[in-house]
Chains A and B, each alone.
Chain A
Amino acid sequence: MSHPAILETIEAFGETTHIADPAKIVELCRYLKDTEKYVRLSGLTAVDWHPAEPRFEVVYLLHSIERNLRLRIKCKVSGENPEIDSVYSVWRSADWHEREIFDLFGIGFRNHPNLQRILMPLDWDGHPLRKDYPVHGYKYSYPNE
């Protein structure tokens, strides 16, 4: 399979990973869904490689029922003002997954219909799954103490 948006292909542990160009992710996903029959977006997540740059990897886990194949697409996203296009227009299941990434990693998704926190409270500070976020959270204190 070849597509201009695919920069590199890695085969490891019997699984295929394509590194894709983040600017063309929607185009690539549309192609994979319509032509290569990856009808399911099984999962969508991110990995934080702090302090490396580009800091984030957004990982798309695809599944083709017809061909019984699984595929992984990865996009590298910069740590400065991280943003990538939403694939909601391709799979509606991207909705909550992208909100979760926005909530826990602070990566923005352009053209997402309702990008707000999903697991953490709406007024939460910070993004817990980032590597520079302490595991016990920031120390709790009363504001007027």
Chain B
Amino acid sequence: MNKSLEDHVATIPARQEQPENASAPRLMTLNMGPQHPSTHGVLRIVVELEGETIRSATPDIGFLHTGIEKQCEHLTYAKALTLTDRVDYLSNVANNLVYCLTVEKLLQLEIPERAQWMRVMLTEFSRLNSHLVWLGTHALDIGAMSMFFYCFREREEILRILEMFSGQRMMTSYIRIGGVALEAPRGWEKVVGKFIRGFPSKVDEYEDLLNANPIWAIRTKGVGYISLEDMLDLGVTGPMIRGAGLALDCRKTAPYSSYEKFDFNVALETGNDVFSRYRVRMQEMRESAKIITQALEGMPSGPITADAPHVVLPDREKMKTQMEALIYHFKIVTEGFRVPAGEVYQCVESPRGEIGYYIVSDGTSKPYRVYMRTPSFANLMALPVMLKDTLIADSIAALGSMDFVLGDTDR
């Protein structure tokens, strides 16, 4: 079962000597990562170089594989929710949302409007959070150092808002099966309103720093090109495909959680390069701010959880006065709730693209199979095509424009 070191060494292919042929190009193999800072996590890319031109790039993933899909099969539905935060740790609310939507589809739960709007608002906050981290680190890779400080200034405020709602800055688990975890804190309108009124001017500030910056233009325009046909064939979604002129957005094509009630546009660019992807994400930040403003102004009143006592944890106060509430609480916490047998697929638009969960239930209180269709995994497949025959220096910009999270890739 466990191989000795000698056996392991024997499995490593021997280094191939290059033929002493003057006409054949001499290729150099360069190992980028897994600790290279531009890979934003632990991604290893083996590149074959001819001079400074990349002839082939092979991503090597799996360094962050934690077996989340396997672990989900051994936890009850409510507990498995906390693992979905850890998949894509920069936009964890979107992961919570898609998991809950999938389970709710199996349970056929009706979610009250207020909970749906809160979900939309928090998801858009997490989109802002993710795009800000992307912009800061991507600009840092290319050499625009000060962007990082501007972006993290706003991100800090977003994390504070998330903390105010859920008690956690990053792993919020705020969206729960059947609704949301808590009622919004007192005075949230004021804090969210103050942030969101000021945010569009902050996006202007970022664009002032970058749009007219000649170095930024040279490093991003025409870099990282990949054709739309290739992208569709390779399963790329999200800002990458919208930067190629295809309006593929689950929020519009298959609205969930009352997205159809919000007025927003799908950001589109046609340049199909790093600069277009940057433009798409900047527009998306403005659109997210628009959605949050609408959610803030039109937040409906009413309950925050579905009327399903066998699924939703009862109110703490009710538990102290009502026998049924105490019994339901005990049942949900100890053995979980049973989910009818069946299988569903649900997808939402995460900051990185289509994130979809395919859950198979066998009628017990634990999911039989949870498959996570993660955007980073699918998008990364386009990397060899994108990097082929480009310069090694451009690979950093191209990598950054894909905006992958390795936790999302390896699960």
Tell whether, in the assembled complex, residue A42 and residue B354 are in contact, meaning their CB atoms are under 8 Å apart. yes
Give the distance to chain A from B330, nearest Cβ to Cβ, in Å. Answer: 26
A59 interface hit (Cβ, 8 Å): yes
* 0/1 interface trace, chain A 104-117, chain B, CB 8 Å (1 if under): 10000000000001
B245 interface hit (Cβ, 8 Å): no
In the complex, A42 Cα to B354 Cα: how many Å?
9
Tell me the nearest residue of chain B to A93, going by C-beta.
B235
A39 interface hit (Cβ, 8 Å): yes
Tell me the nearest residue of chain A to B410, going by C-beta.
A119
In the complex, A91 Cα to B369 Cα: how many Å?
24
In the complex, A17 Cα to B345 Cα: how many Å?
11
Q: Name the one of B11, B108, B344, B410 contacting A15, with C-beta atoms under 8 angstroms.
A: B344
Tell whether, in the assembled complex, residue A92 and residue B233 are in contact, meaning their CB atoms are under 8 Å apart. yes
Tell whether, in the assembled complex, residue B11 and residue A123 are in contact, meaning their CB atoms are under 8 Å apart. yes
* 0/1 interface trace, chain B 356-395, chain A, CB 8 Å (1 if under): 1010100000001101010001101100000000000000
Contact residues of B between 334 and 348, Cβ < 8 Å to A: 342-345, 347
Kindly list chain A residues whose C-beta atoms are within 8 Å of the C-beta of B1: 125, 138
Kindly list chain A residues whose C-beta atoms are within 8 Å of the C-beta of B215: none
Tell whether, in the assembled complex, residue A45 and residue B235 are in contact, meaning their CB atoms are under 8 Å apart. no
B105 interface hit (Cβ, 8 Å): yes
Tell whether, in the assembled complex, residue B373 and residue A61 are in contact, meaning their CB atoms are under 8 Å apart. yes
B319 interface hit (Cβ, 8 Å): no
Give the distance to chain A from B387, nearest Cβ to Cβ, in Å. Answer: 16
Tell me the nearest residue of chain B to A144, going by C-beta.
B4
Once A45-B358, A119-B62, A123-B8 are accepted as A-B contacts, the answer to whether A96 and B377 lie under 8 Å apart by CB is yes
A143 interface hit (Cβ, 8 Å): yes
In the complex, A78 Cα to B343 Cα: how many Å?
21
Kindly list chain B residues whose C-beta atoms are within 8 Å of the C-beta of A120: 62, 65
A55 interface hit (Cβ, 8 Å): no
Give the distance to chain B from A121, nearest Cβ to Cβ, in Å. Answer: 8
Tell whether, in the assembled complex, residue A93 and residue B253 are in contact, meaning their CB atoms are under 8 Å apart. no
Kindly list chain A residues whose C-beta atoms are within 8 Å of the C-beta of B4: 143-144
Once A91-B233, A118-B62 are accepted as A-B contacts, the answer to whether A13 and B105 lie under 8 Å apart by CB is yes
Give the distance to chain B from A56, nearest Cβ to Cβ, in Å. Answer: 11
Contact residues of B between 1 and 55, Cβ < 8 Å to A: 1-4, 7-8, 11
A95 interface hit (Cβ, 8 Å): yes
Q: Name the one of B7, B254, B373, B381 contacting A43, with C-beta atoms under 8 angstroms.
A: B373
B261 interface hit (Cβ, 8 Å): no
In the complex, A139 Cα to B61 Cα: how many Å?
24
A79 interface hit (Cβ, 8 Å): no
In the complex, A96 Cα to B106 Cα: how many Å?
28
Tell whether, in the assembled complex, residue B234 and residue A92 are in contact, meaning their CB atoms are under 8 Å apart. yes
Once A59-B358, A93-B381 are accepted as A-B contacts, the answer to whether A42 and B373 lie under 8 Å apart by CB is yes
Once A96-B381, A135-B70 are accepted as A-B contacts, the answer to whether A143 and B2 lie under 8 Å apart by CB is yes
B141 interface hit (Cβ, 8 Å): no
Tell whether, in the assembled complex, residue A39 and residue B232 are in contact, meaning their CB atoms are under 8 Å apart. yes
Query: For chain A, which range describes its interface: under 10, 10 to 19, 20 to 34, or 35 or more residues?
Result: 35 or more
Contact residues of A between 37 and 82, Cβ < 8 Å to B: 39-43, 45, 47-48, 59, 61, 65, 68, 70, 72
Give the distance to chain B from A123, nearest Cβ to Cβ, in Å. Answer: 6
Q: Name the one of A13, A61, A121 contacting B106, with C-beta atoms under 8 angstroms.
A: A13
Tell whether, in the assembled complex, residue A91 and residue B235 are in contact, meaning their CB atoms are under 8 Å apart. yes
B79 interface hit (Cβ, 8 Å): no
Kindly list chain B residues whose C-beta atoms are within 8 Å of the C-beta of A121: 62
Give the distance to chain B from A90, nearest Cβ to Cβ, in Å. Answer: 9
Give the distance to chain A from B72, nearest Cβ to Cβ, in Å. Answer: 10
A141 interface hit (Cβ, 8 Å): yes
Tell whether, in the assembled complex, residue B358 and residue A43 are in contact, meaning their CB atoms are under 8 Å apart. yes
B74 interface hit (Cβ, 8 Å): yes
Once A43-B358, A59-B358 are accepted as A-B contacts, the answer to whether A93 and B70 lie under 8 Å apart by CB is no
B198 interface hit (Cβ, 8 Å): no
Tell whether, in the assembled complex, residue B345 and residue A47 are in contact, meaning their CB atoms are under 8 Å apart. no
In the complex, A90 Cα to B371 Cα: how many Å?
22
Q: Name the one of B11, B343, B347, B354 contacting A122, with C-beta atoms under 8 angstroms.
A: B11
Tell me the nearest residue of chain A to B229, going by C-beta.
A39
Chain A positions near chain B (C-beta within 8 angstroms)? 12-13, 15, 17, 39-43, 45, 47-48, 59, 61, 65, 68, 70, 72, 91-93, 95-96, 104, 117-123, 125, 128-129, 133, 135, 138, 140-144
Question: What are the nearest 4 A-B pairs in CB distance?
Answer: A93-B235, A43-B373, A119-B62, A45-B371
Chain B positions near chain A (C-beta within 8 angstroms)? 1-4, 7-8, 11, 61-62, 65, 67, 69-71, 73-74, 105-106, 108, 232-235, 246, 248, 253-254, 342-345, 347, 354, 356, 358, 360, 368-369, 371, 373, 377-378, 380-381, 410-411
Q: List 18 A-B contacts (CB under 8 A).
A: A15-B345, A39-B232, A42-B354, A42-B356, A43-B371, A45-B358, A45-B369, A45-B373, A59-B371, A65-B246, A92-B233, A93-B234, A119-B61, A120-B65, A122-B11, A135-B73, A138-B1, A142-B2
